[in-house]
Structure 1
Amino acid sequence: MAQEQAEQQQHPIGIYLAIWGLLFVLSVFSYLVDYAGFEGFLRWFLITLFMILKAALIVAVFMHMAWERLAIMAAVLVPPGVLLVMTLLMALEANYTLFTRLVFFLN
């Protein structure tokens, strides 16, 4: 009986309204990055940061993963971690390629 009640439990509407408000604020900040005229790395870093924060909020609250720690870690932390490792590997490979080109083309 207690398990049925736990499965049917709904979260207060205030949580959802607060998350919608945060999503709206993060979207405004994302648009302000363009409006303020940021350029280069800072612009793309801020846009990506706001995008990741919005995605994390959506996954955590609307997919009910905030209440399951292993699920949120697997869904939110593992994919970006894998992307960072792949980016690191590409950067290392790019340095090796540049070094090889410099050695063989300049001789």
Structure 2
Amino acid sequence: MMAMQQPAQHPIGLYFKVWGLLFVLSALSYSVDYMALQGMLRWSLIVIFMVLKAGLIVAVFMHMMWERLALIYAILLPPLALLVLMLLMLLESDYTHLSRLTYFSGG
């Protein structure tokens, strides 16, 4: 008979460390508003902190760090492909907008 396999137990210290890091990242995110940064620096920092927090949550609390590589690819590659397609549409939209302005303005 095969013995039943116990699910892997992750040390609780890891979760406390991640919670602490999420707290620090949130504090840094709020400090961006507190320091009254403006423009692209503000939005870049906010997005960077947001992506870091989301990555930590997905990796540790959703247990993606311990999954098979195929499952990670199945979950992460479609959103990345959508982001690439959105970037391509953004680049194409500039050309389309300029060509419509040229055509409809009569010039």
Output the TM-score relative to the length of structure 1. 0.80
Aligned sequence identity (%): 60
- Equivalent residue letter for 1:26: L
Partners of 1:2 and 1:40 in 2: CA distance: 60
Determine helix, strand or coil for the equivalent of 1:10.
coil
Deviation of residue 53 (structure 1)?
Answer: 0.9
Q: 1:23 to 1:73 in 2, by over 3 A?
A: farther
Report the structure, 1 or 2, having the larger helix content.
1
The aligned counterpart of 1:67 is: 66
Partners of 2:65 and 2:35 in 1: CA distance: 33
Deviation of residue 93 (structure 1)?
Answer: 2.4
Bigger RCO of structures 1 and 2 (CA < 8 A, at least 6 apart): 2
Partners of 1:77 and 1:37 in 2: CA distance: 36
- Equivalent residue letter for 1:25: V
Gaps of at least 5 residues in structure 2 are none
The aligned counterpart of 2:16 is: 17
Gaps of at least 5 residues in structure 1 are none
Deviation of residue 76 (structure 1)?
Answer: 4.1
Partners of 2:38 and 2:65 in 1: CA distance: 34
* Conserved 8 A contact 1:33-1:47: yes
Output the TM-score relative to the length of structure 2. 0.80
1:53 equivalent to 2:52? Answer: yes
How do 1:28-39 and structure 2 match up within 5 A? Answer: 28-39=27-38
Q: 1:63 to 1:53 in 2, by over 3 A?
A: same
Aligned residues between the structures = 104
The aligned counterpart of 1:99 is: 98
Q: 1:15 to 1:106 in 2, by over 3 A?
A: same
